[in-house]
């Protein structure tokens, strides 16, 4: 029988009651010290009917931040804050993974310890600007990591994974997408290194594979997912042969039996910003026979079609979950969806965060 969004799913060593996942959504509402608080706990509790919540991108390092008021997972206070979130989700019957993050070059000295330069595989300035919390600023040239520093990066992810376990999560997702540090190493448009971490696709994929092995050693592979955006151009990303690059890394991850690979599809918005179609979960399915979660502009109907056609096993919804805390129920009864308020996506406080109504 063909699965649909309401079919249960064995996700590694976890079973989800449906295949409607909540995508990781940066909301910029952490408290002082990049600590999640009661408001964050309520937000995630409201969305506990998701088959799986993938919590927002969370920095594994003090150097990993590039946006104001985003959470971390490297301090005791952050672990305690996330415990509030996981307890709230579990009390409501939900399941939640934490997304482990390091922004790499998509940062600015204002976010860095002691005003240092951001780090990256290569000293290539990203095009565009970032929001500092008070205004916009140009990106700066990052500092290329020394080869001797890279084991420390791997250890930061491993420690983040350990802290996520202490905080009560059900697993973790490695953020290897959207132009952040691991994605920067993987793609040849941002990695011009000539050492063991640059040049060939085998070398460029090395850090991704080392981080995944380290995180899986903490959790067991069945509680680890990893996210890729192979067709994405966000954060000034490009690759000369994305099908080869992402096909290679997925083929190397497949034998590890991870919980899932989270592969975004190219959306119309991506195409408008220069992305090319034809590099996504459908095209990469042959490289990764394991569980694929996909995201990127899906509706209930198109999500069911992807499951039926077999190139995705679950669908992660972003903005629809942001504005509809009871999204699975709305899908099940064919109810209209709340309209999202884009002005409050990254604003502080409960407005546009915990005040979207569920169906009566």
Task: Give the Å distances, CA to CA, from 324 to 159, 230, 321.
Answer: 33, 28, 5
Start-to-end CA distance of the chain, whole Å, equals 33
Residue with tokens 């204002």: 110
The CA distance from 46 to 81, in Å, is 17
Rounded CA gap, 14 and 30, in Å? 28
Cα Dmax for the chain: 59
What contacts 135, CB < 8 A, 6 or more positions away? none
Phi and psi (nearest 5°) for 271?
A: -60, -40
Distances (CA, A) of 18 to 43, 149, 338: 20, 41, 21
List of residues 6+ apart from 273 with CB closer than 8 A: 233, 234
| Strand runs labelled E in the chain | 9-11, 14-16, 20-22, 53-59, 96-101, 119-120, 129-131, 136-138, 143-144, 171-175, 224-228, 260-264, 292-295, 314-317
Catalytic residue ranges: 180
Q: Is 191 left (phi over 0), alpha (psi -120 to 50) or beta?
A: beta
């Amino acid at each position: 029988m063909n699965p649909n969004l309401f079919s249960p799913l064995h996700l590694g060593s976890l079973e989800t009651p449906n295949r409607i996942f909540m995508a990781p959504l940066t909301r910029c509402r952490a408290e002082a010290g990049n600590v999640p608080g009661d408001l964050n706990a309520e937000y995630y509790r409201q969305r506990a009917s998701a088959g799986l919540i993938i919590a927002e991108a969370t920095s594994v390092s003090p150097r990993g931040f590039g946006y104001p008021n985003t959470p971390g997972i490297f301090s005791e206070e952050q672990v305690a804050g996330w415990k509030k979130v996981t307890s709230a989700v579990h009390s409501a019957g939900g399941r939640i993974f934490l997304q482990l993050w390091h922004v790499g070059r998509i940062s600015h000295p204002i976010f860095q310890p002691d005003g240092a330069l951001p780090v990256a595989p290569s000293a290539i300035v990203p095009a565009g600007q970032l929001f500092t919390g008070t205004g916009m600023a140009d990106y700066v040239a990052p500092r290329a990591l020394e080869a001797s520093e890279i084991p420390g990066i791997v250890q930061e992810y491993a420690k983040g994974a350990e802290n996520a376990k202490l905080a009560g999560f059900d697993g973790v997702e490695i953020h290897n997408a959207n132009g952040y540090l691991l994605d920067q190493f993987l793609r040849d448009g941002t990695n011009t290194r000539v050492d063991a971490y640059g040049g060939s696709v085998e070398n460029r994929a090395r850090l991704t594979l080392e981080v995944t092995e380290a995180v899986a050693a903490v959790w067991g592979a069945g509680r680890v997912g990893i996210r890729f955006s192979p067709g994405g151009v966000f954060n000034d990303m490009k690759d000369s042969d994305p099908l080869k690059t992402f096909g290679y890394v997925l083929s190397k991850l497949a034998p590890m039996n991870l919980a899932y690979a989270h592969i975004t599809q190219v959306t119309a918005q991506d195409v408008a910003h220069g992305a090319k179609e034809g590099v996504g979960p459908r095209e990469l399915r042959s490289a990764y026979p394991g569980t694929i979660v996909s995201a990127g502009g899906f509706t209930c109907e198109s999500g069911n079609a992807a499951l039926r056609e077999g190139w995705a096993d679950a669908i992660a919804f972003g903005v629809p979950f942001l504005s509809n805390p009871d999204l699975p129920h709305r899908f099940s009864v064919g109810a209209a969806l709340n309209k999202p308020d884009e002005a409050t996506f990254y604003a502080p406080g409960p407005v546009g965060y915990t005040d979207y109504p569920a169906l009566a």
